[in-house]
């Protein structure tokens, strides 16, 4: 199910127009509003499409240039009910969303301030970057809302022990993207278990192998904080391996290098995702 953070639901309740009653009979079965955006009165959902990972073009409100954003995508097609046909203008529909987005610190770009039939919006809230755009059509009797919650594609395949051993043999290190933490936290998340299991298998297969567990962050924030965070994350990984996977603690030495060894640019979300990683380095 397409879902946003619960704390965001209702943030857009103060709109120029009142929200329509929930569960309007005209809505297509299975379609519902994005939790971030309340319904403009008099419209119903004619169609919707959900994708867990897709790409969409937006106009960046800051640079006014086209950008391609990847992440969880929701497309909604709204049409007015008969009794509301001809009631709204392009400006009313666009203003409804831009007023709301600015109230929570977001920004927007409209193609024509007097008659905006296309509007792009961006907001960062609680660590989640959300892009949205509306395309108003048919004299404002129809508009399309596309929302993308930006994210890196989930890494479904975790490197196994054999691959790690080959990488360490060839380069002295293995790069891992299968160990997960919440934003600005150092607790290893449960979904990291497959990667931890493979690390333990690697060490079991080679009893002489001793490793540095190296934590890396992206370039966002203060250097000193990121250095501490990466150290704490490296320590958390080593602790998980020792306490839950039976790895002798003296075979693992945690170390954090923060953002000092990037493998990609920190100017894009994709690059930042690549820089947030754990590496196993042979001692």
pLDDT value at position 25? Answer: 57
Give the model's confidence band at 53: pLDDT under 50 very low, under 70 low, under 90 confident, else very high. confident
- Do the beta carbons of residue 176 and residue 278 sit within 8 Å? yes
- Do the beta carbons of residue 234 and residue 213 sit within 8 Å? yes
In which residue are the tokens 């298998």 written? 201
- Edge-to-edge strand list for the sheet holding 211-216: 173-176, 277-282, 211-216, 252-258
Give the model's confidence band at 56: pLDDT under 50 very low, under 70 low, under 90 confident, else very high. very high
* Mean pLDDT, the chain, integer: 86
Q: Which residues contact 24 (CB under 8 A, 6 or more apart)?
A: 39, 44, 45
Helices (H), 49-192: 90-103, 161-171
- Do the beta carbons of residue 59 and residue 66 sit within 8 Å? yes
- Do the beta carbons of residue 118 and residue 110 sit within 8 Å? yes
Using alpha carbons, list the distances in angstroms from residue 257 to 81, 132, 142, 198: 58, 35, 52, 23
Mean local confidence (pLDDT), 240-263: 96
- Do the beta carbons of residue 137 and residue 153 sit within 8 Å? no
pLDDT value at position 158? Answer: 67
pLDDT tens readout for residues 2-51: 444 433 434 443 333 333 444 445 899 999 999 888 889 999 999 999 99
pLDDT value at position 197? Answer: 94
Q: Parallel, antiparallel, or unpaired: how do β-strands 66-80 and 211-216 relate?
A: unpaired
| pTM for the predicted model, two decimal places | 0.51
Taking each helix axis from N to C end, the angle separating 193-205 and 223-245, rounded to the nearest 10 degrees, works out to 70
Q: Is the pLDDT of residue 84 over 80?
A: yes
pLDDT value at position 39? Answer: 86
**Phi-psi category of residue 173: left, alpha or beta, with phi > 0 → left and psi -120 to 50 → alpha:** beta
Give the model's confidence band at 269: pLDDT under 50 very low, under 70 low, under 90 confident, else very high. confident
Phi, psi of 67 (to 5 degrees): -130, 150
Return the bridge partners of 152, or none: none
- Give the span between the Cα atoms of 5 and 3, in whole angstroms: 7
pLDDT tens readout for residues 106-140: 999 999 999 999 999 998 876 678 999 999 998 89
Q: Parallel, antiparallel, or unpaired: how do β-strands 118-125 and 107-110 relate?
A: antiparallel
- Do the beta carbons of residue 46 and residue 145 sit within 8 Å? no
236-256 in b/e form (b: 16+ CB < 10 A) is: bbbebbbeeeebeeebbbbeb
- Do the beta carbons of residue 31 and residue 22 sit within 8 Å? no
Ranking 99-113, 152-166, 237-251, 256-270 by mean pLDDT, the lowest is: 152-166
Could you tell me which residue, 143 or 17, shows the higher pLDDT?
143
pLDDT tens readout for residues 190-213: 989 999 999 999 999 999 999 999
Q: Is the pLDDT of residue 227 over 70?
A: yes
Comparing C-alpha atoms, which of 277, 268, 6, 9 is closest to residue 151? Answer: 268
Q: Is the pLDDT of residue 80 over 60?
A: yes
Mind listing the domains of the chain with CATH numbers?
A: 6-150 (no CATH), 161-282 (3.30.1330.60)
Secondary structure (3-state) at 129: strand
**Phi-psi category of residue 221: left, alpha or beta, with phi > 0 → left and psi -120 to 50 → alpha:** left
pLDDT value at position 127? Answer: 65
């Amino acid at each position: 199910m397409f879902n946003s953070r619960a704390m965001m639901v209702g943030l857009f309740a103060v709109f120029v127009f009142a929200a329509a009653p929930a569960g309007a009979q005209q809505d297509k079965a299975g379609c519902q509003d994005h939790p971030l955006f309340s319904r403009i009165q008099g419209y119903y959902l004619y169609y919707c499409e959900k994708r867990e990972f897709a790409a969409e073009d937006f106009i960046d409100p800051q640079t006014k240039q086209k950008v391609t954003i990847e992440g969880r995508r929701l497309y909604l097609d709204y049409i007015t009910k008969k009794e509301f046909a001809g009631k709204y203008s392009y400006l009313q529909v666009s203003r409804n969303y831009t007023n709301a987005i600015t109230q929570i610190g977001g920004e927007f770009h409209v193609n024509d301030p007097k008659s905006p039939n296309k509007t792009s919006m961006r907001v960062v809230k609680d660590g989640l970057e959300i892009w949205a755009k509306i395309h108003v059509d048919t004299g404002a009797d129809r508009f399309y809302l596309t929302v993308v919650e930006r994210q890196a594609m989930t890494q479904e395949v975790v490197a196994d022990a054999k691959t790690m051993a080959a990488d360490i043999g060839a380069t002295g290190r293995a790069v891992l993207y299968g160990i997960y933490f919440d934003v600005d936290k150092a607790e290893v998340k449960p979904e990291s278990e497959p990667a931890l299991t493979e690390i333990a298998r690697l060490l079991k297969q080679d009893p002489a192998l001793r490793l540095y567990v190296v934590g890396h962050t992206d370039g966002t924030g203060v250097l000193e904080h990121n250095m501490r965070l990466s150290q704490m994350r490296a320590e958390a990984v080593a602790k998980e391996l020792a306490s839950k996977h039976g790895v002798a603690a003296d075979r693992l030495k945690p170390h954090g290098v923060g953002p000092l060894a990037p493998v990609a640019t920190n100017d894009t979300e994709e690059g930042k995702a690549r820089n947030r990683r754990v590496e196993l380095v042979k001692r």
